[in-house]
Structure formats: structure tokens, C-alpha cells
Amino acid sequence: MEFAFTDEQEMIRDSAESFLQDVSTSEAVRAAMATEAGFDSELWQKICSDMYWQALHIPEEYGGLGLGYVELAILFEEMGRRLLCSPFFSTVALGVNSLLVAGNDEQKSTWLPQIAEGALTATLAYTSQNSWDAESITAIAIKEGDGFVLSGQYKYVPDGHTAGLLILAAREEDSSDEEGVSLFAIPADTVGINCRWTPTMDQTRKQAEITLDNVYVESSHLLGEAGTAWPQLEKIVQLAAVAVAAEQTGGARQVLDLTVDYTQERVQFGRTIASFQAIKHRAADMMLQVECSKSAVYYAACVAQEALFSNDKAGEEVAEELLVASALAKSYCSDAYFHCAADSIQLHGGVGFTWEYDPHLYFKRAKSSETYLGSGSYHREKIAQAIL
């Protein structure tokens, strides 16, 4: 038991911190978020070729660095802190995790090296509804010959209009809930797939709607077994939730820093406003939430690491622990980030709600990331089910 970062992990954080401080400035974020793609492809290529982050937790046998989920969480935290606009989250937290959890060796060998090279981005689509549970999957997969015909709709898909590889969930006809779910890995340019950008309130992470119109795919695109993929999908979603929570933690840290800095400068009634208890105590509460967010995320990342890569532990025990650890992290960090970002606007006073200052960017990201994969109360109910 050692709940501190190794020197190597600290190095990863330091290099991420200094790199992102240079490339993901407020100006860069604002330029990228105004585009439909939502990211600067030059910067993305630079990340892929210079930093090699997209390959971080891809095993070495598939061309990756073979590092773990704690290292990944560090990156997500730093990216969230700088609101990095990139397809990293969708490609790594959704795409790579899907292939690692549900793919067979051939599928991993096909896709992971391309991702590791920076030649391919990916995402995951499953819900078409206003929820994130199994019943939100409504796309239908019908067995036909040696393959499947897929039809249906997906909503709220991160980077769904730019990703090269789509991980898609679909269900057998007449199945419901957790039954009959299958996962597929399908190139986005497959015939019958239409991906459309849906502009969002938070402009720093793009969403898309995807419609499938009788899309035929070979069985080789099926991840795992047909009709029984819900447990895999659930695990992928839990791993992704840990990544979101890490981003949220970084964002919360940054709004705290912005706020402390601003209040130290701003003078009212003859004092810097940072000297008022009303401000100090709000900042203290923000810090408490930031520190607790970190603890929740680092722990969840440790569990995610075991769930993804450890073979020596009882699988079911780790699966149960991942369920509660990811729900805890997503729930706590969602609420903490929202509160910190909202307080950041408040403590900035008049300039806090201008377009010019940055707090609103974080505030919007806090809300969109709270919503994505389910709110705090949604995840608390998951915990209640586990403990009551």
C-alpha cells in the first residue's frame, strides 16, 4: 500500500503541466472551440508524435508505452485543468479502453497500433436517450449471414463527427435492458453511417449525433460475444467515468487557482478582496473539494488499473470495487467541479460572467461533464444499490 505518486509519475505530471501551459492557453482553447472539429489538428499531431500520450496505456505489444491508469489519470487531470481541446478523451478513455476491455487479440492488433501511431481517433456511442443505463441503447443489430446489419441512432457522442473509429453498442431485436447488447468496432466511413455535429453549450468538448441506416458489418467487427456485451460496456463506461472525474479534478484545481489569484489582485473597500473572510472561506471550501476530488480520483485510478491489467486478483471483487470507486469519483468530482466553477464566477464578481474572462469556460465544462455519463445523484443511487 503506497498512496503517493512515484517519481516517474511526478515526471509525467511535470512534463504534461509545462507542455499544456504552453499549448493550451486561453487563446488556443477559444480558437479551437470556435471550430466545428473542436480541436487544432496540428496540436493533436504534436501531442501524438512528441508526447505520445495517446499510446500511454496501450500495451507495448500493440505499439504503446504500456503504462497504467494512474499515469493516465494524471494526464486527464492536467488536460482538464487547461481545458485542452483534443480528441484525446474520446480516443483513449472511450476507444482504447473499449478495445482493451472487449476486443480480441486480432482486433487489438488491428486498431491499437493505428491509435498508438496517432493515425486514428476513436469514440464510443451507445445511448440514444436521456439516460446512460443499458435501456438507453436502442440501435438494433440483426445477424445476417456472416455479419450484422445495424440500424438506429446515437446521441451525445463525444467527437462523434470527427472520430475515425466508432465503438457502437446495439441490441438484438426485442431484447431489453442489459440483455442482448453487442459491441462493434466500425470505421466511421462505413456506408450507411451518418455523423452530425450537434453544437453544445460547452464548446470545449464537441458532441455528435450518429445515425445508422442498415449498416452491414462483418463479424470481425464484433467485440466479444454477440448479445452479452453489457458487462464489458459497463466496465468501459466506468473506466471512462474515472477519466472524466480526473478532468473535473483538474478543472476544479484551476478555477481555484484563478480565483485565489484574482481575489489577491482585486481591491474593494480599501483591501484586496482575498482578505475578506467571505472570500477566504469560500476558497477554503473549494480547496477542500479539490483535495477530496484528488483522493477520490487517485483511488479510482488505482482500482481501474487493477481492473484493466491485474490478473492475480479475484475478478469479481475488483469489478465490484470499480463500480463503487468510479461512481464515487464521478459523483463527487461532478458536484465539486460545478460548485468550484460556480463559486469562481461569484468570487470574480462582475468580470466573472463576461465572455472575456475564463471562469465561464470552466463553468460550462463543469456542467457538461456533470451531465455526461450521469450526474452526481445518478451515481449516488448506484452506490446506494451496492450498499443497501
Partner 1 sequence: MKISFSSEDEQFRQEIAGWLKENLKGEFEQLRHRGGPGDEHMFPEERKAWEQHMAHAGWTCPGWPVEHGGKGLSINQQVIFHEEYARAGGPGHMGHIGEGLAGPTIIAFGSEEQKKRFLPGIVNGTEYWCQGYSEPSAGSDLANVKTKAHQDEETGQWVVSGQKVWTSLAHESDWCFVIARTEPGSIGHKGLSFLLVPMEQTGVEVRPIEQLTGTSEFNEVFFDNAVTDAGNIVGKPGEGWKIAMALLGFERGVSTLGQQMHFQNELDQIIEVAKGNGSSKDPAIRQRIADAWMGLRIMRYNSLRMLSGGKDGALQKEAMIYKLFWATWHANLGKLAMDVLGNESEILDEGGSYELTRLQSMYLFTRSDTIYGGTNEIQRNIIAERALGMPKEPKGR
Kindly list the residues in this chain that would bind a copy of itself in the complex (CB under 8 A). Answer: 276-278, 281
Q: Which of 11, 119, 142, 384 binds partner 1 (CB under 8 A)?
A: 384
Whose Cβ is closer to a copy of itself: residue 278's or residue 314's? Answer: 278
Of 174 and 277, nearer to partner 1 (C-beta) is: 277
Name the binder of 198 from a copy of itself, partner 1, none, CB < 5-8 A by kind. Answer: partner 1
CA 221 – CA 181 distance, rounded (Å): 14
Taking CA 367 as the corner, what is the angle to CA 345 and CA 80, rounded to the nearest 5 degrees?
A: 80
Work out which of 296, 308, 340, 366 binds partner 1, going by CB under 8 A.
296
Residue 353 is given by DSSP the state: G
Question: Rounded distance, CA 275 to CA 306, Å?
Answer: 45
Which residues are CB-neighbours of 14 under 8 A, at least 6 positions away? none
Partnered with residue 257 across adjacent β-strands are none
Choosing among partner 1, a copy of itself, none, which partner's interface includes residue 37 (Cβ < 5 to 8 Å by kind)?
none
Torsion sign, CA atoms 238, 25, 156, 116: negative
Which residue lies nearer to a copy of itself by CB, 281 or 313? 281
Q: Which three cell numbers stand for residue 125?
A: 456511442
Cβ–Cβ < 8 Å for 65, 73: no
Min. distance of Cβ 260 from partner 1 in angstroms? 5
DSSP summary character for residue 137: -
Rg (CA), the chain: 21
Between strands 207-218 and 181-187, the pairing is unpaired
311 binds, among partner 1, a copy of itself, none (CB under 5 to 8 A by kind): none
Q: Which does 2 bind (CB under 5 to 8 A by kind): partner 1, a copy of itself, none?
A: partner 1
For residue 174, give every residue at least 6 positions away whose Cβ sits within 8 Å of its Cβ, in sequence order, or none: 180
Residue (11 or 34) nearer to partner 1, CB: 34
Tell me: does residue 271 bind partner 1 (CB under 8 A): yes
The interface region with partner 1, picked from 99-107, 137-145, 239-247, 275-283 by CB under 8 A, is: 275-283
User: 359-371 vs 315-348: helix axis angle to the nearest 10?
Assistant: 150
Minimum distance from residue 269 beta carbon to partner 1 (Å):
6
CA distances from 102 to 80, 85, 167, 235, 309 (A): 27, 27, 10, 9, 13
**Could you give phi then psi for residue 140, rounded to 5 degrees?**
-110, 135
Residue 384 interaction partner, one of partner 1, a copy of itself, none, beta carbon < 5-8 Å per kind: partner 1
Site string for partner 1, 321-360 (x = CB under 8 A): -------x--xx---------x--xx--xx-xxxxx---x
Q: Does residue 191 interact with partner 1 by CB under 8 A?
A: no
Task: Look up residue 2 and give its amino acid.
Answer: E
Beta bridge partners of 101: none
**d(C-alpha 243, C-alpha 69), whole Å:** 9
Query: Smallest distance, Å, CB 280 to a copy of itself?
Result: 9
Nearer to a copy of itself, 178 or 285 (CB): 285
How far, in Å, are 94, 225, 232, 234, 326 from residue 228 at the CA level?
19, 6, 8, 11, 22
In the bound complex, what is the minimum distance in angstroms from residue 381's beta carbon to a copy of itself?
16
Candidate ranges 11-19, 99-107, 196-204, 233-241; the one touching partner 1 (CB under 8 A): 196-204
- Binding span for partner 1 by CB under 8 A among 16-24, 182-190, 243-251, 380-388: 380-388
Q: Interaction with partner 1 in 12-71: which residues (CB under 8 A)?
A: 34, 70
When asked if residue 309 is in the footprint of partner 1 (CB under 8 A), the reply is no
Q: Which is nearer to a copy of itself, 278 or 387 (CB)?
A: 278
